[in-house]
């Protein structure tokens, strides 16, 4: 704000000038508005960096009663923040599904995560029940790729499924065991190819510059993708994973315990199978994977990310012409791109409608804080209403003789989820997961984490996106909104 007045001079030199002191005296008793006073200071040469500080300080002292101070977080404010981007819907026209909840908490500005859900007709028979899909997208180096996937991935998969011709068996349409997974996988790869084809055409076309830049951005940025599709006709749940977002199934056992069934495996530079795959595709190249990263990238599979897929010469051209991201060279030895693929790993599991179960899908912002089993147990406690602590307590496992701060993380306090901090107080189960992964009943810790705005919040949490789907009779709270 001060720069608009062109403040340049130095108080140190002016203060020694007797004319300056006389003008200050006249100014001090002038009956002028603050804006007029500041313009007067500038016009008379009195506006200096230190002088402005003195003037604002004295003005603030006179008008201290008008200073607005943010009040401390209340419990309701914490809930409002956690629930701001949440949803909850009951499902009545897709057999086998009771309800699905979602929530998102940003750490980046703007948030680089995205989510979507959709209901669509059966790909092969119009007289069959509709299918449902859910997806979460974890963007990096920008939100543009995740935004494109939010709008295009499910339609692309639907189109790919429609190209499959089922075998007719009387009144039934029968597909092979690998038909749906192959169609999903093809849709992922084709969409990533389309991102780069669009970028190539933009670089060579004659569209206005701003349009070409917008067409290039989904290739410059990147995103992981996690998609789940439920076919009520066969009770099959298909989960496709590209990257390090994660899906798990919670299934209740006869003794009431919740079994955790992994439906995806994090695809990172720490995954031994991914490391072996990458080196088999690039024989003779050493040090592609270091410290759990693929040439610096955490995820070993992703959409976009042109620096890991384009030839270096083309990257250099795009950088010069369109200010694209800097190539990975010379820091990394790039010989035979692409090093990263969008091809997903697809898992299929049958949902037993007589056995309570639920699906948890989330970006790594959640899994940084808790394990798959802990997430399943938290949903199980939410269903049973257990571990209620009302509005939470302000207790902490840190030493009680001094106020809690983040230094306690180095003194034995766990920065991840701790079962002793579990609380059940949200009607939305996705919000329940986000609350507990960030502090649960320890309001001091939870409020401290939420107090950080971007970019500082990235030191304590990532963007967090969660969707939970209840199947069969698992959801005892399905009528709550």
- Residue-level pLDDT at 408: 87
**Worst-scoring range by mean pLDDT, 223-232, 302-311, 348-357?**
348-357
Q: Spell out the residues 6+ positions from residue 359 whose beta carbon is closer than 8 angstroms to its own.
A: 134, 228, 237, 247, 248, 249, 250, 263, 467, 468, 469, 471
**Position 267 confidence tier, pLDDT thresholds 50, 70, 90:** very high
- DSSP per residue over 100-145, as a string? EEEEEE--SSS--EEEEEEEE--SS-TTSPPEEEEEEEEEESSSHH
Quickly tell me which residue has 């996988």 as its tokens. 185
**Position 188 confidence tier, pLDDT thresholds 50, 70, 90:** very high
Instruction: List Cα–Cα distances, 187 to 133, 163, 337, in angstroms.
Output: 14, 11, 21
- Residue-level pLDDT at 66: 53
- Residue-level pLDDT at 105: 98
Query: How large a percentage of the chain has pLDDT more than 70?
Result: 77
CA distance 324 to 124: 42
Q: What is the mean pLDDT of residues 356-385?
A: 96
Return the structure tokens found at 317: 């051209």
Does residue 461 belong to any structural domain of this protein?
yes
- Residue-level pLDDT at 124: 85
- Whether 480 and 108 have beta carbons less than 8 Å apart is answered as no
Does residue 135 belong to any structural domain of this protein?
yes
Query: How large a percentage of the chain has pLDDT more than 90?
Result: 69
- Residue-level pLDDT at 353: 85
Q: What is the mean pLDDT of residues 381-394?
A: 67
**Which helix (H) or strand (E) segment is 451 a member of?**
helix 443-451
In the 8-state DSSP scheme, what is residue 81?
H
Closest CA to 242 of 227, 218, 222, 224: 224
Does residue 67 belong to any structural domain of this protein?
no
Return the structure tokens found at 375: 């997430």
CA distance 16 to 156: 73
**Which helix (H) or strand (E) segment is 469 a member of?**
strand 464-471
- Whether 364 and 466 have beta carbons less than 8 Å apart is answered as no
CA distance 357 to 261: 10
Closest CA to 214 of 143, 162, 284, 272: 143
Closest CA to 325 of 146, 141, 193: 141
Count CB-CB contacts under 10 A for residue 474. 22
- Residue-level pLDDT at 42: 42
Count CB-CB contacts under 10 A for residue 381. 19
Q: What is the mean pLDDT of residues 249-261?
A: 94
- Specify burial of residue 451 (Cβ count, 10 A radius: 0-12, 13-18, 19+): middle
Does residue 183 belong to any structural domain of this protein?
yes
Whether 51 shows a pLDDT value over 90: the answer reads no
Does residue 12 belong to any structural domain of this protein?
no
Q: What is the mean pLDDT of residues 365-376?
A: 98
Quickly tell me which residue has 């992922």 as its tokens. 188
- Better-predicted residue by pLDDT, 130 or 394: 130
Whether 63 shows a pLDDT value over 80: the answer reads no
- Whether 463 and 86 have beta carbons less than 8 Å apart is answered as no
User: How many domains is the chain partitioned into structurally?
Assistant: 1
Can you give the residue range of the structural domain that contains 284? 75-386+399-471
Q: Spell out the residues 6+ positions from residue 201 whose beta carbon is closer than 8 angstroms to its own.
A: 215
- Residue-level pLDDT at 395: 44
In the 8-state DSSP scheme, what is residue 243?
S
CA distance 436 to 394: 14
Mean pLDDT score across all residues of the chain: 84
Does residue 30 belong to any structural domain of this protein?
no
What CATH number does the domain containing 419 carry?
A: 3.60.40.10
CA distance 324 to 213: 9
**Torsion sign, CA atoms 133, 94, 426, 419:** negative
End-to-end CA distance of the chain: 45
- Cross-sheet strand order for the sheet of 464-471: 87-90, 97-105, 464-471, 357-362, 246-252, 258-262
The β-bridge relationship of strands 289-290 and 293-294 is: antiparallel
Maximum alpha-carbon separation in the chain: 104
Does residue 7 belong to any structural domain of this protein?
no
- Whether 131 and 232 have beta carbons less than 8 Å apart is answered as yes
**Position 164 confidence tier, pLDDT thresholds 50, 70, 90:** confident
Does residue 31 belong to any structural domain of this protein?
no
CA distance 302 to 292: 15
- Whether 140 and 223 have beta carbons less than 8 Å apart is answered as yes
pTM reported for the whole predicted model: 0.82
pLDDT in tens, 86-112: 999 999 999 999 999 999 999 999 999
């Amino acid at each position: 704000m001060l720069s608009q007045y062109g403040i340049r001079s130095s108080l140190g030199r002016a203060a020694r000038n007797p004319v300056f002191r006389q003008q200050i005296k006249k100014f001090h008793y002038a009956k002028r508005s603050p804006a007029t006073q500041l313009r007067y200071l500038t016009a008379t040469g009195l506006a200096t960096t230190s002088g402005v500080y003195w003037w604002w300080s004295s003005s603030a002292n006179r008008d201290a009663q008008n200073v607005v101070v943010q009040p401390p977080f209340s419990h309701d404010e914490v809930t409002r923040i956690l629930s701001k981007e949440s949803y909850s819907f009951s499902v009545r026209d897709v057999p086998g599904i009771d309800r699905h909840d979602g929530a998102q908490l940003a750490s980046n500005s703007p948030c680089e995560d995205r989510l979507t859900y959709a209901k669509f007709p059966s790909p092969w028979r119009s007289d069959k029940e509709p299918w449902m899909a859910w997806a979460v997208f974890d963007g990096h180096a920008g939100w543009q790729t995740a935004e494109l996937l939010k709008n295009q991935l499910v339609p692309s998969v639907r189109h790919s499924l429609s190209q499959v011709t089922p075998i007719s068996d009387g009144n039934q349409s029968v597909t092979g065991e690998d038909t749906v997974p192959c169609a999903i996988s093809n849709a992922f790869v084709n969409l990533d190819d389309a991102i780069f084809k669009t970028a190539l055409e933009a670089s060579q076309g004659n569209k206005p510059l701003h349009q070409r830049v917008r067409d290039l951005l989904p290739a410059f940025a990147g995103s992981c993708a996690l998609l789940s599709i439920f076919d009520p006709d066969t009770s099959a749940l298909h989960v496709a994973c590209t990257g390090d977002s994660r899906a798990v199934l919670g299934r209740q056992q006869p003794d009431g315990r919740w079994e955790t069934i992994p439906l995806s495996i994090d695809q990172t530079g720490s995954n031994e199978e991914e490391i072996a795959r990458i080196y088999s595709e690039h024989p003779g190249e050493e040090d592609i994977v270091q410290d759990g990263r693929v040439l610096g990238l955490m995820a070993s599979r992703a959409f976009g990310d042109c620096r890991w897929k384009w030839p270096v010469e083309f990257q250099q051209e795009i950088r010069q012409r369109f200010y694209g991201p800097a190539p990975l060279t010379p820091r990394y030895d790039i010989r035979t791109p692409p090093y990263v693929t969008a091809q997903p790993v697809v898992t299929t599991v049958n949902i037993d409608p007589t056995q309570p179960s639920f699906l948890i899908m989330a970006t790594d912002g959640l899994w940084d804080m808790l394990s798959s089993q802990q997430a399943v147990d938290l949903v199980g406690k939410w269903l049973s209403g257990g571990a209620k602590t009302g509005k939470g307590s302000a207790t902490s496992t840190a030493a009680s003789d001094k106020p809690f701060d983040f230094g306690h993380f180095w003194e034995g306090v766990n920065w991840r989820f701790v079962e002793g901090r579990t609380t059940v107080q949200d009607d939305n189960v996705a919000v329940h997961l986000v609350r507990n992964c960030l502090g649960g009943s320890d309001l001091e810790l939870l409020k401290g984490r939420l107090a950080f705005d971007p970019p500082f919040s990235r030191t304590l949490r990532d963007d967090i996106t969660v969707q939970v789907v209840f199947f069969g009779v698992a959801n005892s709270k399905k009528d709550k909104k």
